[in-house]
Amino acid sequence: MSGRATASVRIRARAPRTSPASARAVWVGAVAVVAVLVLWELLGRLGGGGARIPVPTAIGAALAGLVIDPGFWAATGQTLLSAALGLVLAALAGVVAGTAYGTFVFLRHSTSALIELLRPIPPVALLPVGLLLFGTSLQMKLALIVYTAFWPVFIQTAYGLRDIDGTLVDMARIHRVRRGRRLLGIVLPSIGPYIAVGLRLSVIGALIASIVSELIGGAPGLGYALGLAQSTGQTARMYALVVVIGVLGLLADRSFGLMERISPGWSPANRERGRS
C-alpha cells in the first residue's frame, strides 16, 4: 500500500498544473483586446477615423461576407497551396544543401562567398525576374517562396552539423559504419531540432512570399484579392482580408509549435528535458 501511495503521489506531483499568473495574463490580454476594439468602435462612430479606417463591426460584417463568398475560399486555397508546395521544396533543398555544406569542407570554403552574396538579397527584389521568366503563374510564386523559405532551413541545418557530438561520429567510423548509415542514424537525428526551428521560421516566410507575389505580381490568391479590394475602394473588405492573413500566419506558427512539442526527438525543449 505504501508503494502504491508513493507512486500515486509521484504521479500527481508530475501532473502539469496551470499557473495562476499565466491564467491571469490570458484574462488581462483578452480584456485589453476587447477594450481596444471598443475604443476603436467609439472613435470610429464619432468620426475619428473616417472612411479610411472602418470600425470593427464593419470589418466583422465584411468577414461574414467573406465566409459565404466562394471566390474567397478559392483565393485562400491558392495561397495556401502555393505556400505549402514552396515550403516542402524549400525544406528538401535546404536540408540537402545544408547537410552537404556542413559536411564537406571544400564545398563550404568554395561556396561561402556565393552564399553570402545571395542570402541578403530581398525576395521582393527577385519578383521582376520571376515575372519575366514565368509570368503571373504558380511557377513564379513557387520560385519566390522557395527562395524565401530556403535560407532558414539551410542555415539551421548547417549550424546543426557543427554541434554534432564528434565522439559519436568517431565511434561510428571506428566500427566501420557506412557513410549512409551514419547520415541516417546519427547526423539527421542530431540536427532534427535545428531543422524544426528552420521550418518554423520558413513557414511564415513562405506565407509572406506567397501573399507578396500575389499582391505585387498579380498572381491569383489572397494577395491579389487584397489589392483588388484596395483599388476598388472596398475598405472594410480589405481590412477583413488583412485579418484573415494574420490569422493564417498565427495558425501556421502555432501548428509548427505544436508539432515541436509532440515530437520528442525534434523539439529542442524536449531534448533539454531528456526525452529525446
Structure confidence at residue 185 (pLDDT): 64
Cβ density class 34-49: b for 16+ within 10 Å, e for less: eeeeeebeeebeeeee
Contacts of 201 (CB under 8 A, 6+ apart): 152, 156
Cell of 252: 501556421
CA dihedral 232, 44, 73, 223 (to 10 degrees): 50
Instruction: Indicate the SS3 state at residue 217.
Output: coil
pLDDT digits (tens, 9 = 90+) for 66-125: 999 899 999 999 999 999 999 999 999 999 998 888 878 788 888 888 888 888 888 888
The distance of Cα 85 from the centroid of its chain, to the nearest Å, equals: 13
Cell of 66: 467573406
**Percent residues over pLDDT 70 in the chain:** 75
Structure confidence at residue 265 (pLDDT): 52
pLDDT digits (tens, 9 = 90+) for 184-219: 666 677 777 888 888 888 999 999 999 999 998 888
CB 240 within 8 A of CB 225: no
Please state the pTM of the whole predicted model.
Answer: 0.77
* Cell 527584389 found at: 125
Half-sphere exposure at residue 223, Cβ-oriented, CA atoms within 13 angstroms: 21
* Cell 475604443 found at: 39
